[in-house]
Chains A and B, each alone.
Chain A
Amino acid sequence: MSVIIKTDFRLLLRTKAFWFFLLMMPVLSTMILKIKTDSSAAYVKGNEEMVKELESANDKVAYYGGKGEYIIKVYDASGSELSDYMLNRLSTSGMFYVCRVNLAKTGDALTQEFLQEHLAKDGYEDRMGAAIFIASDFDEKAEDALTVYFLSEDERGAALEAELTFLLSKMDAFLGDVKLLEQADAGLPEKKVVSVAVASSRNLTVKQTNQKTQIGYALAFLSLGFVFCGIFVAHTAIKEQKNGVLTRIDLTGTSTLQYFTAKFVTVLLVSVMVTCVMSVCSIFLNMYDLGMSRFTFLSMIFMMGLIFSALSLLLGILTGEVMSANVAAFSAWCLTALMSGLYFPLTYTSKALKVLSFFMPQRWFLEGSEMIFVGDNQAFLMLICVTVAYLVVILSLGGLGLKIRGTEEWGNS
């Protein structure tokens, strides 16, 4: 058995492609992860109760409504203090998300054609609760210079109507003097808004939820290197089947179990090698963003990588063709990553999909990371059990596959 391991290893080390994947995949994955990490600053939405300034009248506002907010697009030709005041009050009231394009700054004129053209676009090629057009003489004419177009059947439109009527009447009463209005508003009670995370039963804070998302991406990208390295070991197994080497090994009295264990030990050693390269690359990763110690993180990556390398080995043996093995291993990786909730949350999927996601290894590692965040000591034990469970299933299927594949070839193909 040790002979098989040594031979396989020598073959692997002689394959240039193997070295390429061993060294390059972790580096590439870390690079991609780094890009993702840097953009995660955008996750924590800043001050939501402020007017969002748009660069141009053609900007779409649909994506600001990521959670069902009531979006209002304001075409403000006046750019005056009074319109600023009104829009600020509107956005701080809490119910609306105001996006404003200052037409005075962009240089567009609020003509009838402009209005019709943008209204058509807003209705059919964008998504908002209402569009408001403010003419340039808003300071003098107040409510006559403002038109509201409701562009959805959202019930909160009634609240918008009420709020605008209130604001305009108040501005009328104070004769449009912004200073007086602000003085009057200073007498109102101060408001503070706090968001409480009750999403998961483990009570993750907002920061921990972001960290979990980061771990998810890390697991997704970093496991790719393991998949490819596992494929190389699978290739040796396939070639041995085709060249009749397997038959000759069988004749020496080596049992299928020993042969398969030898292959698995090779996979294990390869995984260790990839993890070592990964640990060097992880120096460039910010552990704070990931929320756990480097050792914990690397052990998790190693365990998951081991599962995927073993899976590649299994698929290689079952398919018996180099190309098919590649395709199968890659598809398995893709599909399991998609369905385990790494790229997007599974909160709104059906029950069936949620249950299915528990078959994917990545899902269990996400659970494990959650447990690590909240300081649950059982996390490691659980992850080790999960890894062992997957490996047992994969190895049994692999052994079975070898038996079924048979040893008919004598090296003619």
Chain B
Amino acid sequence: MIRYLIKNNLKLLGRSLTNTLLLIVAPLVLIALLSAAFHDLMKTYDGADALTAGYYAESDVPAEYMEALKQIAAENGITMKEYVGSTPEEVLKRSDVAGFVVFRADSYTVYQKDDMKEAGKAIEYMVGAFYENAAAAAMGVDVSSAKLRIEQADYMTAVDSIDYYGIIEVVYFGWCAIVCGAGLFSNEKKYRIKKKYYVSNLSDTKMYLSRFVPLAVFVVASAIATAVLSIGLFGVHWGNPALSLLILTFSAMAASALGLMVYEIFDSMVVTVILVFTAVWFAGFFGGSFETYMFSSNAAILKQISPIYHINRALVELSCDGKSDYVVSALLYCTAIIAVCSAVAVFAGSIRRRGRV
């Protein structure tokens, strides 16, 4: 019997433009904006293989120095090109050199482009190291006598902002699932369809399932669509497809269960939306949906309470490391939410129904 209800509800959910906007367009817009905003913070150093640096040496700098410097630079992948007669600023603006150095007898100035800071620093470092090594050699110091102790440690591979925000925005909007059902459920109330359900021979569990299944299916389908679009539009890298899909499915199911439970208890869509959005906002805040969970300094206990933290961490670590310790905890947490919320929802629904009938 409820097969028909499920199909019907699913069709109604799919026909609403607001739902598409909320679950597909909004995450994509936010992914674009947030990944651009945090791009600089999360970018990994792109080791440029070959840099060109302009230079000008004043007449009182010994020529052998410059020759030695050019050779050392070439060994480190930096080509030094001499520019006579132009100011450093002009050279930096006109050509694509990464930096410019002016050498004098006992000082030097490094000019760096402010949008190629790291390349400029590499040049600065190379020149500095050259002078230091030359001075040390002159003093007869053995510069490799020390044996540095280097140990291995585990660390998370750096994730860039597009991958990170591409993944967590899909998860976050999935948790706003109940809003999709808002139109559907409030219309059920308005047109007294609920009363008709009450006098039918549907059990409470079946009634709950007739709402839960379409909502969950719709949210999962939208999340997958958004994920696929994010791969196509932004080049987001998702991890292990099977596991990611599983986690996304459970996340959407948990969100639907939570939203439905709150709705069954309060019977008012406005209150439900307010409560669920607030809860999801806090869960997202501590779970790394706004500021990355790696960099935030919130207490660990608050992070662990948020289901979104476990889901985000599992998906992000699957994407960059290929494996994650949080997959199990994410799935278990979601299962617990589904079980508890469904039970409470059915119970609340039955009390409300008995009150009438």
Contacts and interface: CB of A to CB of B under 8 A. Distances in A.
B229 interface: no
B125 A95 contact: yes
Given A166-B132, A353-B36, A173 B115 contact: no
A159 B132 CA distance: 14
Contacts of A122: 153, 155
Contacts of A143: 146-149
A198 interface: yes
B38 to A, nearest CB: 9
Given A67-B40, A67-B117, A172 B146 contact: yes
Interface residues of B, number: 68
B159 to A, nearest CB: 10
Interface string B84-117: 0000110011000000000011111111111101
B43 A144 contact: no
B148 A127 contact: no
Contacts of A339: 33
Nearest to B92: A196
Nearest to A63: B295
A66 interface: yes
Interface string B310-344: 00000000000000000000000000000000000
Interface string A301-339: 000000000000000000000000000000000000011
A198 B41 contact: no
Contacts of B36: 344, 346-349, 353
Contact of A68 (B40, B144, B150, B156): B40
A353 B297 contact: no
B305 interface: no
A122 B155 CA distance: 8
Interface string B26-56: 0000001101110111111101000000000
Contacts of B234: 350
Interface string A91-103: 0111100000000
B157 interface: yes
B115 A199 contact: yes
Interface stretch (B134-142, B166-174, B241-249): B134-142
A124 B156 contact: yes
A375 interface: no
A158 B41 CA distance: 22
B156 A196 contact: no
B293 to A, nearest CB: 8
Contact of B156 (A60, A70, A123, A348): A123
Interface string B123-136: 01101110111011
Contacts of B113: 195-196, 198
Interface string B188-224: 0000000000000000000000000000000000000
A149 B146 contact: no
A153 B153 CA distance: 12
Query: Interface residue tally of chain A, by bracket?
Result: 35 or more
A199 B40 CA distance: 15
A344 B165 CA distance: 16
A303 B322 CA distance: 53
Contacts of B294: 62, 124-127
Contacts of A95: 121-122, 124-125
A163 interface: yes
B143 A192 contact: no
A94 B39 contact: no
A106 interface: no
A194 B125 contact: no
Nearest to A356: B32
Contacts of B59: none
B128 A93 contact: yes
A187 to B, nearest CB: 6
Interface in A151-180: 151-156, 159, 161-166, 168-174
A307 B15 CA distance: 35
Contacts, number: 205
B277 to A, nearest CB: 15
A123 B157 CA distance: 9
Most A CB within 10 A of own CB, among B32, B125, B145, B153 = B153
A188 B93 CA distance: 30
B158 interface: yes
Nearest to B90: A196
Contact of B121 (A94, A149, A162): A94
Contacts of B128: 92-94, 191
A163 B149 contact: no
B157 A169 contact: no
Given A143-B148, A191-B128, A192-B108, A151 B153 contact: yes
Contacts of A192: 107-110
Interface string B274-310: 0000000000000000000111010000000000000
B114 A191 contact: no
B144 A155 contact: no
B75 interface: no
Nearest to A174: B141
A145 to B, nearest CB: 9
B163 to A, nearest CB: 14
Given A60-B297, A62-B295, A126-B295, A166 B155 contact: no
Nearest to A164: B148
B151 interface: yes
A194 B110 contact: yes
Nearest to B295: A62
Interface in A216-256: none
B150 A148 contact: yes
A381 interface: no
A208 to B, nearest CB: 13
Given A148-B148, A353-B32, 19 more contacts: A58-B297, A62-B295, A69-B118, A122-B155, A125-B294, A127-B294, A146-B149, A150-B150, A151-B155, A154-B44, A166-B133, A170-B141, A184-B139, A191-B108, A191-B110, A195-B120, A198-B113, A344-B36, A349-B33
14 contacts: A60-B297, A62-B41, A68-B118, A69-B118, A123-B156, A127-B294, A146-B148, A166-B132, A170-B141, A195-B117, A196-B88, A196-B113, A198-B93, A198-B113
Interface of B: 32-33, 35-37, 39-45, 47, 88-89, 92-93, 104-115, 117-118, 120-122, 124-125, 127-129, 131-133, 135-136, 139, 141-158, 234, 293-295, 297
